[in-house]
């Protein structure tokens, strides 16, 4: 067989030729829509590769982005790896110390930043390496005036860039990208993605029994391009010719609902908290979202109530996906197939409440504390382990603990799960979020899922509080659907008591109705901060 390397220029060539006319739409900062095509993006990528070379970027160098989802970020998604360099997407919501830590750890040479995000970067500036060059992306082409020392303007740079006569020859094993985990314990850890992994992941996302990205879809990645490659959707879309709709910095429920309606989006993806916002917006102001064929919910436990509400109120089926920075990230998702059920069948909801089978190409198993494999009976819980061509082999850099990678080639995810006889995974909890009461485990996810079915509850989070006699007890935080009519603690406990034994229930003094639950930079419930607040050492 031909040894054609699996490198990102293969995806770029396909987008440039076969899908040259397919549209890429971005919401600009001023709210207007910018329309371009894969053909035009590819032509600008060629010039950008030349511009990167002129800036002194060489194969293997790390080049950072600090940006929302838009066409310029898409150009960088291709130009940086196709120039042989490594695309390092920096999470724009990180604290300044974390931004400085990862830019320094990655030894980035150039950083591309959105004009609107310059203030966030300026806060971290004193701690950033002196030699770092800045390029500012500005719709008006005035990035050089944005206030960053020595900054270049993106559009000016691109206008001056000439395509290279001999673009670098890429090896499929060389690094294409670098992302850091959210670092909920200790410093963030870097994961280096090879071209081969990124390309195979894009193929994986296109398979009909996984996410099913295809040219029939209009894809809206709400999941940020600064977080694990927006779940690989930009690459999978370019590979398959899906139309891309990029929301920029406009991430309110109303703005997203408008975009779905206006652009006839068929496929949207993001964390559950975002889809809760969009749902609330649609309840306030009805819009036509009938174009939506599916929403991919992932990155955090997807509440059963949310899956049910989308399905029953708006007729939109949820594909529930699981993944991690270390798995590029898509690892598993709700599976269709011979057992596919009608949306009215209660088993349909059951199926969608689990993130399903591993995506073809990946394998999963659960293990006990001794590392021994546990049965796939849908009941026994153990630590989820995965392996496959887009799962990390180690963390990037020296001095980083590597104990999550086992000698026999598996990655220990830190998630606790069951696997049923059909191979479908159900995540019980993150290991560190489990609550240990007198030696027995309580699942925070299960309590949250149930309390979210209470009609007065909009959002919920359960975390552990240390307890003298019981090791730990669950503490429940809820946001009321109607702030004027908050649910009573006793009522919530009675609701939970219908499904959970007494010892798993929160006490009345451990139920808090709050205005908001803190979220991480990518919109997940920030349980670390909640725990800190409970201990009295949080902000």
Token pair belonging to 411: 């990655």
Q: How far is the CB of 360 from ligand AMP (least distance, A)?
A: 18
Instruction: Select 67 or 307, whichever has its Cβ closest to ligand AMP.
Output: 307
Tell me: does residue 306 bind ligand AMP (CB under 6 A). no
Binding segment (CB under 6 A) for ligand AMP, from list 14-22, 298-306, 358-366, 457-465? 298-306
Q: Give the number of residues in contact with ligand AMP, rule: CB under 6 A.
A: 21
Helix (H, G, I), strand (E, B) or coil at 275: helix
Rounded Cα distance, 316 and 308, in Å: 9
CA 351 to chain centre: 22
Instruction: Select 143 or 299, whichever has its Cβ closest to ligand AMP.
Output: 299
- Beta carbons of 359 and 259 less than 8 angstroms apart: no
Rounded Cα distance, 114 and 95, in Å: 17
Handedness of CA 57, 58, 64, 68 (dihedral sign): positive
Binding segment (CB under 6 A) for ligand AMP, from list 319-327, 336-344, 356-364, 480-488? 319-327
Tell me: does residue 276 bind ligand AMP (CB under 6 A). no
- Beta carbons of 269 and 221 less than 8 angstroms apart: yes
Considering only residues 196 to 235 of the shown chain, the ones binding ligand AMP according to CB under 6 A are 228
Beta strands at 363-367 and 23-27: parallel, antiparallel or unpaired: unpaired
Q: How far is the CB of 493 from ligand AMP (least distance, A)?
A: 24
Catalytic sites, residue numbers: 181, 326, 436, 441
Tell me: does residue 177 bind ligand AMP (CB under 6 A). no
**Binding residue for ligand AMP, selected from 84, 329, 506, 523, defined by CB under 6 A:** 329
Helix (H, G, I), strand (E, B) or coil at 530: helix
**Binding residue for ligand AMP, selected from 188, 234, 301, 487, defined by CB under 6 A:** 301
Give me the residue whose beta carbon is nearest to ligand AMP. Answer: 325
Q: Is 85 left (phi over 0), alpha (psi -120 to 50) or beta?
A: beta
Tell me: does residue 300 bind ligand AMP (CB under 6 A). yes
Query: CB count, 10 Å around CB of 531?
Result: 18
Tell me: does residue 428 bind ligand AMP (CB under 6 A). no
Beta strands at 86-89 and 108-114: parallel, antiparallel or unpaired: unpaired
Q: How far is the CB of 519 from ligand AMP (least distance, A)?
A: 13
**Binding residue for ligand AMP, selected from 427, 442, 473, 478, defined by CB under 6 A:** 427
Tell me: does residue 322 bind ligand AMP (CB under 6 A). yes
Q: Calculate the alpha carbon distances from 189 to 92, 124, 182, 280, 438 in Å.
A: 16, 19, 8, 35, 33
Instruction: Select 17 or 380, whichever has its Cβ closest to ligand AMP.
Output: 380
Tell me: does residue 302 bind ligand AMP (CB under 6 A). yes
- Beta carbons of 8 and 235 less than 8 angstroms apart: yes
Token pair belonging to 276: 């809760």
3-state helix/strand/coil string of 52-102: HHHCCCCCCCEEEEECCECHHHHHHHHHHHHCCCEEEECCCCCCHHHHHHH
Q: What does the per-residue mask of binding to ligand AMP show for 180-199, with x meaning CB under 6 A?
A: -xx-----------------
Considering only residues 349 to 388 of the shown chain, the ones binding ligand AMP according to CB under 6 A are 355
Instruction: Select 93 or 467, whichever has its Cβ closest to ligand AMP.
Output: 93
Tell me: does residue 299 bind ligand AMP (CB under 6 A). yes
Tell me: does residue 311 bind ligand AMP (CB under 6 A). no
**Binding residue for ligand AMP, selected from 325, 334, 353, 381, defined by CB under 6 A:** 325
- Beta carbons of 491 and 455 less than 8 angstroms apart: no
Rounded Cα distance, 225 and 453, in Å: 32
Instruction: Select 298 or 358, whichever has its Cβ closest to ligand AMP.
Output: 298
Give the footprint of ligand AMP on this chain (CB under 6 A). Answer: 181-182, 228, 298-302, 320-325, 329, 355, 413-415, 427, 430
């Amino acid at each position: 067989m031909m040894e054609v390397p699996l490198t990102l220029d293969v995806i770029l060539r396909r987008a440039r030729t076969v899908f040259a006319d397919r549209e890429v739409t971005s919401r600009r900062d001023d709210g207007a829509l910018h329309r371009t095509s894969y053909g035009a993006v590819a032509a600008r990528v060629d010039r950008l590769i030349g511009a990167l070379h002129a800036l002194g970027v060489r194969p293997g160098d790390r080049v950072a982005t600090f940006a929302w989802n838009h066409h310029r970020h898409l150009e960088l998604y291709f130009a940086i790896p196709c120039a042989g360099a490594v695309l390092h997407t920096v999470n724009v919501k990180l604290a300044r110390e974390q931004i400085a830590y990862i830019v320094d750890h990655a030894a980035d040479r150039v950083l591309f930043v959105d004009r609107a995000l310059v203030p966030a970067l300026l806060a971290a500036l004193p701690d950033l390496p002196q030699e770092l060059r800045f390029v500012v992306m500005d719709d008006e082409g005035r990035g050089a005036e944005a206030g960053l020392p020595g900054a270049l303007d993106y559009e000016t740079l691109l206008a001056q860039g000439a395509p290279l006569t001999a673009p670098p020859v890429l090896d499929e094993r060389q690094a294409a990208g670098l992302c850091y985990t959210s670092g909920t314990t200790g410093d963030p850890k870097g994961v280096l993605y090879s071209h081969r992994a990124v390309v195979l992941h894009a193929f994986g996302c296109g398979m009909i029994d996984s996410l099913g990205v295809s040219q029939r879809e209009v894809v809206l990645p709400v999941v940020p391009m600064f977080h694990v490659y927006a779940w690989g959707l930009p690459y999978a879309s370019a590979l398959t010719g899906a139309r891309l709709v990029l929301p920029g910095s406009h991430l309110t429920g109303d703005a997203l609902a408008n975009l779905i309606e206006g652009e006839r989006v068929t496929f949207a993806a993001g964390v559950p908290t975002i889809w809760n916002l969009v749902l609330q917006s649609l309840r306030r102001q009805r819009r036509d979202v009938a174009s939506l064929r599916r929403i991919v919910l992932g990155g955090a436990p997807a509440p059963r109530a949310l899956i049910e509400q989308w399905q029953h109120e708006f007729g939109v089926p949820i594909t529930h996906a699981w993944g991690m920075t270390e798995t590029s990230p898509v690892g598993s998702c709700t599976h269709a197939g011979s057992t596919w059920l009608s949306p009215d069948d209660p088993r349909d909801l059951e199926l969608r409440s689990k993130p399903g089978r591993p995506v073809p190409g990946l394998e999963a198993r659960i293990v006990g504390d001794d590392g021994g494999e546990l049965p796939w009976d849908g009941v026994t819980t153990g630590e989820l382990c995965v392996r496959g061509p887009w799962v990390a082999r180690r963390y990037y850099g020296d001095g980083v603990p590597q104990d999550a990678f086992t000698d026999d080639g598996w990655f220990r995810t830190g998630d606790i799960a069951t696997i049923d006889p059909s191979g479908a995974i159900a995540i019980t909890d993150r290991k560190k979020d489990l609550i240990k009461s007198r030696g027995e485990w309580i699942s925070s996810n299960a309590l949250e899922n149930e309390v979210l079915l209470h009609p007065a509850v909009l959002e919920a989070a359960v975390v552990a509080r240390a307890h003298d006699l019981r090791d730990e007890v669950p503490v429940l935080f809820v946001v009321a659907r109607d702030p004027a009519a908050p649910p009573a603690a006793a009522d919530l406990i009675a609701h939970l008591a219908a499904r959970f034994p007494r010892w798993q229930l929160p006490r009345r003094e451990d139920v808090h109705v709050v205005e908001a639950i803190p979220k991480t930079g990518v919109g997940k419930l920030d349980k670390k901060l909640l725990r800190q607040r409970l201990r009295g050492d949080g902000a």
